[in-house]
Amino acid sequence: MKFSVSIFLLICFTLMGFGTAIRCYSCKDYTASCSKQRDCSYDDACLTLTERGGMTFRQCLKYSDCEYSRLGQMFPQVSSFTFKCCNSDLCNSAHSSAVSSLIGVLASVAATWWVTH
């Protein structure tokens, strides 16, 4: 029985936040110091688009628009760019989201350990 409860808690921690709107950083700058946040729609992703000259755009964007040709149409002033779309809270920061992923895994392990002991 304890094993079933621990599996249930593990799944709950893993799925926490799915199906809800996300928050993204929203700014346009040459630095990695973006702190303005915005609530997005349920079908949005967080975009980080960096032009060759160093300007970075961070914003909410419909996930279906996360493709190179579509972004080229949406940002005609940017001739050459790289981009990343992600779908977890504030995942378009300049810093890696590995820390938040690690926290989720550690919370799941702690909950499993607590239930079984």
At 20-45, the pLDDT tens digits run: 789 999 999 888 789 999 999 999 99
Domain that holds residue 107: 19-116
- Say what the pLDDT of residue 95 is: 63
19, 27, 18: which is closest to 47 by C-alpha? 27
- Say what the pLDDT of residue 2 is: 53
pLDDT one-digit tens code per residue, 37-91:
999 999 999 999 999 988 999 999 999 999 999 999 999 999 899 999 999 999 9
Distance in angstroms (rounded) separating the CA atoms of residues 56 and 48: 7
What's the number of domains the chain is made of? 1
In a domain, residue 6? The reply is no
Q: How many residues does the chain have?
A: 117
CATH of the domain at 39: 2.10.60.10
Distance in angstroms (rounded) separating the CA atoms of residues 23 and 36: 10
In a domain, residue 13? The reply is no
Using DSSP, state whether 72 is helix, strand or coil.
helix
In a domain, residue 8? The reply is no
Summarize the confidence of residues 4-24 as an average pLDDT.
56
pTM, full prediction: 0.63
